[in-house]
Amino acid sequence: MSGLGNRAIILSLSRLANYGLMIVSPVILARILPVTDFGRYREFLLYASIVQALAAFSINDSLLYLMPHHPRSTRQIVDQTVLLSGVCSAAVICALLLVDQVSAGAVFGSYTVPIICYVLLYVNFDFWESYWLA
């Protein structure tokens, strides 16, 4: 089988495993964790996924389009994508802090710092998958 076929199979299997974990992990955690802890886990996941989706803004997906169409500008495209991801995530984090400050901690509560860490790490390091695919 060709190298491209092997990579496609590996990517498909890893994505399938990821979806399987997304389905199975809440079921297992619901059985293991007490109700209050599971509720905190789901609340954090809700806030983090909403803020992460706003911060990511699908910027990394542009690598899949731009890199094959402009192969000589790969470094510049990646640098601009990383910079734009950093700026967008910083703007969303500032908005999150502003909302939390205005609401006196009523919106995010004790999850503010963990959400900030999660979003900054996830959004700013997630470009690797698109980069390797492109």
Choice between 46 and 2, residue whose per-residue pLDDT is larger: 46
Inform me whether the pLDDT recorded for 134 exceeds 70: no
Instruction: List Cβ neighbours of 77 (8 Å cut-off, separation of 6 or more).
Output: 63, 66, 67, 70
Q: Which tens digits make up the pLDDT trace of 106-116?
A: 988 889 999 99
Q: Which tens digits make up the pLDDT trace of 52-68?
A: 999 988 888 888 888 88
Rounded Cα distance, 80 and 98, in Å: 27
Comparing CA positions, the residue from 40, 125, 129 lying closest to residue 89 is 125
Rounded Cα distance, 38 and 24, in Å: 14
Q: Model confidence at 1, in pLDDT bands (50, 70, 90)? A: low
